[in-house]
Amino acid sequence: MMLSFFDQFMSPTYLGVPLIALALSLPWILYPKPTPRWLNNRLVTLQGWFINRFTHQIFQPLSLGGHKWAALLASLMLFLITLNMLGLLPYTFTPTTQLSLNMAFAVPLWLATVIIGMRNQPTHALGHLLPEGTPTLLIPVLIIIETISLFIRPLALGVRLTANLTAGHLLIQLIATAAFVLTPLMPTVAILTAVLLFLLTLLEVAVAMIQAYVFVLLLSLYLQENV
């Protein structure tokens, strides 16, 4: 039976148990743990440097109130990067290609930023729905448009991450299938296709890291509006 290209995005099960829970818990096992020694090894030092640079880059524009989110967003960044990178390995499942999982990340965090804004500075938070100097006739229309754009934000976060990773995986599978089929027929074309596959894989590695960064960056921008 011919398998669909989209079968790779189905959540695998073993004895009726979904293995997505295992895929979500694996990244935390791979991270090196700090030691009580005065000097850490190179891997722990590199991990600490990366986290420090990331938090400095993301939270520099935020006020001190937003710095409470540093541990949460840094952990989410590492988690998403690891899931995306592990999903590029052969015979693996990428949980972040599931829209339901990405929405489960996006909706609570977006809602938390909105609630913080409504609680701390409700006038400023509601002021985003109506730009200053708006003509009187356009006020109802702009309020509706800004409200819709506000509620579309978590959907855009989840769909962006899902669509980029899904498209990349499909392209890799299509080109790999083409290279495999063309090998006995046209070896020269198959070699060129394999080179293209290698370059695309490098591109997908960059996309896996960039999309995780963009996801957390947009959350920090939403937080900046409400803190």
pLDDT band at residue 46 using 50, 70 and 90 as cut-offs: confident
Question: How is the chain classified by DSSP, letter by letter?
Answer: -PPPGGGGGSPPEETTEETHHHHHHHHHHHSPPP-SSSS--HHHHHHHHHHHHHHHHHHSSS-GGGGGGHHHHHHHHHHHHHHHHHTTSTT---GGG-HHHHHHHHHHHHHHHHHHHHHH-HHHHHHTTS-TT--GGGHHHHHHHHHHHHHHHHHHHHHHHHHHHHHHHHHHHHHHHHHHHHTTT-HHHHHHHHHHHHHHHHHHHHHHHHHHHHHHHHHHHHHHHH-
For the chain, what are the domain ranges? Answer: 1-225
pLDDT band at residue 7 using 50, 70 and 90 as cut-offs: low
Give pTM, 2 decimals: 0.84
